[in-house]
């Protein structure tokens, strides 16, 4: 395996009823900004659970954070933090709420424009308000990573930013909070976590290693658990398996000793920036098509994927046949759970493909070195 340094400082409180840990976690903070999305937490009782544990604190609220969170909500949050001297941000919701809150946390500590300063210029000095999370859906893993992804609609850009100061201090992960999740979001989150695992798995080294064996096990868990959760949304075991798998998929564990890829995410972020595509649904379309483009030089890894994840019988098959079968199995899985597998299903106009390819900045990875025309080919193949 490659050399690595593994760092993850997030304290996780996992399981039903763990929200009560908020009292202890927040005992040293007084002015709390609670951030959330379009109101699901008010319908499913999570808001009440949180507020019950914030009694005695001075609480401010920022609501209405949308999926694919945008710059406007970040500016709004920064203003609240600066005007009220907020000393802790508690993000309650899905990955969008968490990401928006992370951007607010760092944006509130500078007088510069947060987008230009952090997302365009990068590597600028950073400070951030401390942040904790109560995550209500499984998918992004934002509850245990130091990244946030923000959309700038005017500039047609969706960019990520990562820093160690953006790791939450703690995260409450209660699988019962996901029972109310609409089926569409359950499917999308599942595609997202699966894609996160593959972004690391399909990167060198290709030979069998501890990290990839963990990844194979996570992928099998996701496959089994989503099938159960779709049939019975209140199956605690399936929900907890999905939640923990999604957290582990991006907390650094599955990247240890691997070179990492993440180009499928680059390809998806362009779809979201142009057409507000739901992240996981976009990945279900582009990731298998990216793999079809790069598999030829990495047959050893695809062989393991076929046999160990999809239980494909290798008897009398060439490695190339196995690789292609494994990608078909992946696409069939996405289809089976109700995700799209073509850009057409996402209502992307074909005549935008060239422009989207030109606006997707790729970089060299151990699996690929995509040119603009390669990206165009992948999008066209996905159509
Ligand atoms: O806004 P509310 O009313 O809360 O409703 C949300 C939203 O409409 C709803 N929802 C969430 N939990 C619910 C619920 N509805 C009922 N019951 C619950 N328990 O689901 C909808 C989608 O929420 P959102 O937060 O947008 O979903 P997700 O967690 O998939 O986040 C997607 C965003 O995260 C970014 C994506 O690009 C996208 O912008 N990502 C963040 C990453 C990170 N920070 O590391 C990595 C990922 O690769 C990804 O890029
Ligand atoms: Zn993702």
Q: Taking the CA of residue 278 as centre, how many other CA atoms within 13 Å lie in the half-sphere pointing to its CB?
A: 18
* Ligand 2 centroid to residue 39 C-alpha, Å: 23
Could you tell me the distance, in angstroms and rounded to a whole number, from the CA of residue 184 to the centre of ligand 1?
A: 11
* C-alpha of residue 236 to centroid of ligand 2, in Å: 24
Tens of each residue's pLDDT in the chain, 383 residues: 999 999 999 999 999 999 999 999 999 999 999 999 999 999 999 999 999 999 999 999 999 999 999 999 999 999 999 999 999 999 999 999 999 999 999 999 999 999 999 999 878 889 999 999 999 999 999 999 999 999 999 998 999 999 999 999 999 999 999 999 999 999 999 999 999 999 999 999 999 999 999 999 999 999 999 999 999 999 999 999 999 999 999 999 999 999 999 999 999 999 999 999 999 999 999 999 999 999 999 999 999 999 999 999 999 999 999 999 999 999 999 999 999 999 999 999 999 999 999 999 899 999 999 999 999 999 999 99
- Among protein residues, the one whose CA lies closest to atom 17 of ligand 1: 181
Residue 242 CA, ligand 1 centroid: distance in Å: 15
Distances (CA, A) of 251 to 10, 75, 113, 136: 9, 27, 29, 17
Global pTM? Answer: 0.97
Name the residue with tokens 């790069």. 294
**Residue 211, pLDDT score:** 98
Give the number of the atom of ligand 1 that is nearest the alpha carbon of residue 37: 1
Phi, psi of 265 (to 5 degrees): -65, -40
Residue 26 CA to residue 32 CA, distance in Å, equals 9
**144, 185, 252: which to mutate for ligand 1, most atoms within 8 A of CB?**
185
Instruction: Find the ligand nearest to 270 CA.
Output: 1
Which of the ligands is closest to the CA of residue 193? 2
Residue nearest to atom 4 of ligand 1 (CA): 37
CA distances from 8 to 101, 111, 262 (A): 19, 29, 20
Atom of ligand 1 nearest to the CA of 196: 48
* Ligand 2 centroid – CA 81 distance (Å): 28
Between the CA of residue 240 and those of 136, 138, 151, what are the distances in Å?
12, 9, 30
């Amino acid at each position: 395996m490659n050399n690595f340094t593994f760092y993850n400082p997030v304290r996780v409180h996992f399981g039903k009823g763990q929200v009560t840990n908020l009292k202890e976690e927040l005992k040293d903070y007084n002015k709390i900004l609670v951030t959330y999305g379009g109101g699901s937490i008010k319908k499913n009782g999570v808001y009440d659970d949180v507020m019950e544990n914030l009694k005695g604190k001075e609480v401010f609220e920022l609501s209405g954070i949308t999926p694919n969170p945008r710059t406007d909500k970040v500016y709004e949050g920064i203003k609240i933090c600066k005007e009220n001297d907020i000393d802790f941000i508690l993000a309650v919701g899905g990955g969008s709420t968490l990401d928006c809150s992370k951007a607010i946390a760092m944006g509130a500590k500078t007088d510069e424009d947060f987008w230009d300063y952090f997302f365009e210029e990068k590597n600028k000095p950073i400070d951030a308000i401390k942040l904790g999370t109560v995550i209500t859906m499984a998918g992004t893993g934002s509850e245990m990573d130091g990244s946030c992804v923000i959309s700038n609609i005017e500039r047609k850009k969706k960019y990520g930013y990562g820093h160690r100061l953006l790791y939450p201090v703690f995260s409450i992960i209660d699988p019962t909070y996901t029972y109310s999740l609409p089926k569409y979001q359950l499917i999308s989150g599942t595609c997202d976590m699966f894609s996160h695992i593959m972004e690391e798995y399909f990167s060198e080294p290709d030979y069998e290693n501890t990290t990839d064996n963990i990844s194979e096990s996570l992928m099998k868990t996701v496959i089994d658990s989503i099938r159960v959760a779709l049939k019975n949304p209140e199956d605690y075991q399936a929900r907890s398996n999905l939640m923990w798998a999604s957290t582990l998929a991006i907390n650094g564990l599955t990247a240890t000793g691997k070179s990492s890829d993440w180009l499928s995410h680059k390809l998806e972020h362009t779809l979201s920036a142009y057409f507000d595509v739901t992240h996981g649904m976009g990945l279900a379309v582009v990731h298998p098509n990216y793999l079809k483009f790069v598999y030829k030089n990495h047959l050893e890894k695809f062989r393991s994927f076929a046999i160990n994840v999809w239980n494909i019988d290798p008897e009398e098959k060439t490695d190339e046949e196995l690789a292609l079968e494994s990608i078909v199995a992946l696409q069939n899985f996405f289809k089976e759970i109700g995700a799209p597998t073509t850009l057409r299903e996402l209502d992307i106009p074909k005549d935008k493909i060239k422009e989207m390819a030109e606006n997707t900045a790729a970089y060299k990875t151990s699996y690929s070195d995509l040119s603009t025309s390669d990206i165009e080919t992948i999008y066209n193949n996905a159509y």
